[in-house]
Amino acid sequence: MSPEAERILNPGQGRIDGEHYLPVTAETCRWGWWPNRLDPPVLSVADGAVVTVDTLSHEGILEDQGRDPAAFFGARGVPEDGVLADAVELARDVPHTFGVDGPHVVTGPIEVQGAEPGDLLRVDMLGFAPRVPYGVTSNRHGLGALHGEMPDGTAPADTLTPGAPGSTVSVFTEVEDATAVLRHSDGGAVRYPIAPFLGMTGVAPDTDQPVATRPPGRHGGNLDIKHLISGTTLYLPVQTPGAGFAAGDPHFAQGNGEVALTALEGSLRADLRLSLLRGPQARRACGLIENPMGETAAHWMPIGLHTDLDEAMREAVREALRFCESRLGLPRHIAYAYLSCRADFEVTQVVNDVKGVHCMIPKQDFPGV
């Protein structure tokens, strides 16, 4: 067995701490589509259950990368036994149409027993374990903050076809002792710490229409909030009976903006506690927010989402005002002044059709709340 094989978490192997375990298989995942109200659950759990969920990165399995992860990663020095078995099986066995289906592999949906529309689903991020010691960052033609400019190439940008040779640049990055090692052509390397989180966590929207994985929404989904690491919480407005929780798009590291298109993408094993809040409990947690909301040890994080970045910013301010009024008890004009003086509004991502802005409200300013 190669050293790389000893550092990977294949399905069912390694530490599993949850009361329930959900691996990535053809039966437990959706490739390219988010669950809606019609999709039956692949797992049913009680309110408050801890679930260990395997998530699989789409990088290395997509058609513009050859749809052969053993060959893709092998060309970058990874031995065959250092490639996840579920990546190989998914690329081989699960139908997927590049450019029609979304790129992401989504594990779920999970029914949370008793969940009803109007509840909040509290998702506690208890821990994340990298399943592989490497990740990939990709820039695809027509996507990213500089679509039409990047990737660089001799062909005019408007003549490149997504998925064709030359239209995707995938940068392989090793991970050593929780540090990403980004090597470049002159023999040097940029090293930076990883901070694993799930780019996609959400519930099933109340629709029977197909739901694409790329744009986030009130259901959550592809929020890409880098602060939702181990020890944090995401609150999601439940839209359908059972909630229909799902997760995917695992990241090892990401900067706000996620400008190239992807973060440092790498498969993760996640331990998540799924709990329901309703009535006064929900209001004590989030006030009267309308979108998903994050919480860390130091900050509350209202979220704004819109196809226009300016409107996403405005929606984040509105959500922050709702939170300050209904949860913190501030008069509206005082909340507006406070947010202007103290809160940080960060661009979450600009690459998923629907842009995101999240607000960082320091908890230290409200002792006893």
Closest CA to 328 of 299, 356, 304: 299
Amino acid at residue number 315: E
Rounded distance, CA 13 to CA 315, Å? Answer: 43
Both tokens of 295, joined, read 């919480």
The values of phi and psi at residue 200, to 5°, are -125, 115
Mark whether 246 and 353 lie in a shared domain. Answer: no
Average pLDDT in the chain: 94
Mark whether 207 and 109 lie in a shared domain. Answer: yes
- Which of 232, 250, 280 is at the close of a domain? 280
Q: What is the mean pLDDT of the segment spanning 156-176? A: 73
Count CA atoms closer than 13 A to 323's CA, side-chain side.
33
- Which of 280, 310, 335 is at the close of a domain? 280
Mark whether 77 and 190 lie in a shared domain. Answer: yes
Residue 299 parent element (H or E)? strand 299-306
Please state the separation of Cα 89 from the chain's center in Å.
22
What's the pLDDT tens digit per position in 270-296? 999 999 999 999 999 999 999 999 999
Mark whether 82 and 222 lie in a shared domain. Answer: yes
Closest CA to 126 of 56, 178, 53, 194: 53
pLDDT band for position 1 (cuts 50, 70, 90): low
Q: What is the pLDDT of residue 147?
A: 85
What's the pLDDT tens digit per position in 306-343? 999 999 999 999 999 999 999 999 999 999 999 999 99
Q: What is the mean pLDDT of the segment spanning 265-272? A: 98
pLDDT band for position 32 (cuts 50, 70, 90): very high
Q: What is the pLDDT of residue 228?
A: 98
Mark whether 250 and 332 lie in a shared domain. Answer: no
Q: What is the pLDDT of residue 155?
A: 58
Query: How many CB atoms neighbour CB 62 within 10 A?
Result: 22
Number of structural domains, the chain? 2
Q: What is the mean pLDDT of the segment spanning 233-257? A: 98
pLDDT band for position 142 (cuts 50, 70, 90): confident
- Which of 246, 280, 314 is at the close of a domain? 280
Rounded distance, CA 50 to CA 148, Å? Answer: 44
Mark whether 265 and 316 lie in a shared domain. Answer: no
Residue 234 parent element (H or E)? strand 233-237
The CATH number that applies at residue 212 is 2.60.120.580
Give me the domain span that covers residue 335.
288-365
Mark whether 192 and 126 lie in a shared domain. Answer: yes
Mark whether 170 and 307 lie in a shared domain. Answer: no
The CATH number that applies at residue 335 is 3.10.28.20
Mark whether 219 and 264 lie in a shared domain. Answer: yes
What's the pLDDT tens digit per position in 83-98? 999 999 999 999 999 8
